Chains A and B, each alone.
Chain A
Amino acid sequence: MKTESVVEKVLKSGQLVVTSECGPPRGANPDKVREKAEMLRGYVDGINVTDNQTAMVRMSSLSACIIIKQMGLDPILQMVSRDRNRLAMQSDILGAYSHGINTMLCLSGDHIHFGDHPMATNVYDLDSVQAIQMVRKMRDEGKFQGGEDIDTPPKMFIGAAANPFADPFELRVARLAKKVKAGVDFIQTQCIYNMEKFETWMKGVCDRGLHKKVAILAGITPMKTVGMAKYMKNRVPGMDVPDEIVKRMGGVPKEKQAEEGIKIAVEQIERLKEVEGVAGFHIMAIEWEQKVPEIVERAGLLPRPQV
């Protein structure tokens, strides 16, 4: 074992991992974090805490992670390279680990263009591949990115994202291979709706043996309404929502669409369980965290292993 991470322990036990996420509030109220995290207790092995997602200012991922950790749950620290240079990233990693946070996700982050401070400067001192290298070096070599020794290195289980649906498709396995080479331990994918395309990507991943080196958690986001399906299809960059999904959501009355969305999510999980290389699920119920327990239960992912 490289770390004390529950995600790593569940993977090691050979069982499917389940993670979910919780977006911190646009304010300083810690109870909002507690409310969202409490809903997930007992249903997931780790809770991603987003880092100024969609480039909107929110309570910091690190502080929300600490709140969740204090509740006896297992937060996953998301860290984007958009807002921090390597000094700030490393000091936050040390701080996180000092609070017992041992799992993190290295991301580049949505461009500031999308957020509420499009006039801000972006940092991008590192990209996600280089951030993975940095965290791995901190953990395995006990050295800062700059080369000096760390007194008590942070032992982080290192995650990253992969979007099998972005272009060019032919590069998507190769880009994952770069993250693997950099030292990533687990991957959470972009929300999957186009199952065939995901399976093609997974086959490419397995053909190169990458699934033996990195745990792939398939990203699942239940649709609430047909409007959301259309929005994700047309407006979210790098998202692939097939027409069938939009049609299926639109084919039921409005009051039943949420249930249809959950049903689709559960069916997707059932199908993906059979796909070689899928090591678990990352369920992102955007501002709909209360539905995660139901999805986990209906998908037969309970009880969560005690490790």
Chain B
Amino acid sequence: MITAERKPMEEILEHINPYNRILLVGCNECVTVCAAGGRKEVGLLSAALQMAYMKEGRTLEVKEITLERQCDPEYIEELVTQIDRAEAVLSMACGCGVQEIAKRYTTKPVFPAVNTKSMGASERQGVWAERCRGCGDCLLGLTGGICPIARCSKRIMNGPCGGSTKGKCEISPDVDCAWNLIWERLKELGLEKKYEEITEAKDWRPSWHGGPRKIIREDMAE
């Protein structure tokens, strides 16, 4: 899923400061799962913002809506009846959702209420960790199902580097060394020999380095 974290209150308040009527839009997908921008978080943020306004002797009118999917134009359309009354929109979705609203409702300012972090997975209750960088050319088949691009701090394709210590990365004892994990997994699979194959320089064109990416499915596209 796409993981996100709510922005600091001060930053959100700074964005919406000129306005008194906002539309606060959550998303029922990834940001709900990682507890950053689902219905519950929309309610909490709404209350907190109104409180902050009250402290300054102002009143903030918040219309709360949580869409099924903010990255889908079909659901964005649901805002059509609410948008006129609002002076601005505050989105709790990932960056994709914010941009979909901005694209559809061109005359309304849209602000993000979360920082989109990464594509990740739940490690344990309340912990989400990065797993994929969307490089566009998956090499997990070579690395025992552990991604060195997302999980090695140096994106090293032929690791581990000289900073790997007791299974941890040189940047922090809280970060696992991805290449240590890869090696352990290759051993478990009896694929130690695979380690000695050099992974050649990566072609970054399918990744973000090749410019904004688009998938066109001829069989589906109209």
- Hey, which chain B residues are within 8 Å of A145, CB to CB? 201
Considering only CB atoms and an 8 Å cut-off, how many residues of chain B contact the other chain? 29
State the CA gap A177–B164 with chains docked (Å).
18
Q: If A177-B196, A237-B170 touch, does A167 touch B165 (CB 8 Å cutoff)?
A: yes
- Are A127 and B154 touching (Cβ within 8 A)? yes
Q: If A167-B177, A168-B183 touch, does A108 touch B166 (CB 8 Å cutoff)?
A: no
* Residue B50 interfacial (CB < 8 Å): no
Binds A, one of B92-100, B108-116, B138-146, B155-163: B155-163
- Are A127 and B153 touching (Cβ within 8 A)? no
State the CA gap A167–B159 with chains docked (Å).
11
Q: Bits for A82-123, please: 1 = Cβ < 8 Å to B, else 0.
A: 100010000000000000000000001111011000000010
* Residue A221 interfacial (CB < 8 Å): no
- Are A175 and B160 touching (Cβ within 8 A)? yes
Q: Bits for B157-200, please: 1 = Cβ < 8 Å to A, else 0.
A: 11111111111001110000100100100000000000110111
- Hey, which chain B residues are within 8 Å of A190, CB to CB? 162
Cβ-defined partner of B161 (8 Å) among A108, A177, A178, A181: A108
* Residue B19 interfacial (CB < 8 Å): no
Cβ-defined partner of B201 (8 Å) among A122, A126, A171, A181: A126
**CB under 8 Å from chain B, chain A span 221-251:** 237-238
- Are A166 and B204 touching (Cβ within 8 A)? no
Q: Bits for A193-233, please: 1 = Cβ < 8 Å to B, else 0.
A: 00000000000000000000000000000000000000000
Considering only CB atoms and an 8 Å cut-off, how many residues of chain A contact the other chain? 35
Chain A nearest Cβ from B194, distance in angstroms: 11
Q: Bits for A279-298, please: 1 = Cβ < 8 Å to B, else 0.
A: 00000000000000000000
Q: Bits for B105-134, please: 1 = Cβ < 8 Å to A, else 0.
A: 000000000000000000000000000000
- Are A162 and B201 touching (Cβ within 8 A)? no
Chain A nearest Cβ from B67, distance in angstroms: 33
Q: Bits for A175-190, please: 1 = Cβ < 8 Å to B, else 0.
A: 1011001100000001
- Hey, which chain B residues are within 8 Å of A175, CB to CB? 158-160
- Are A178 and B170 touching (Cβ within 8 A)? no
**CB under 8 Å from chain B, chain A span 131-187:** 133-134, 145, 161-163, 166-168, 171, 174-175, 177-178, 181-182
B interface residues with partner A (beta carbon < 8 Å): 153-167, 170-172, 177, 180, 183, 195-196, 198-202, 204
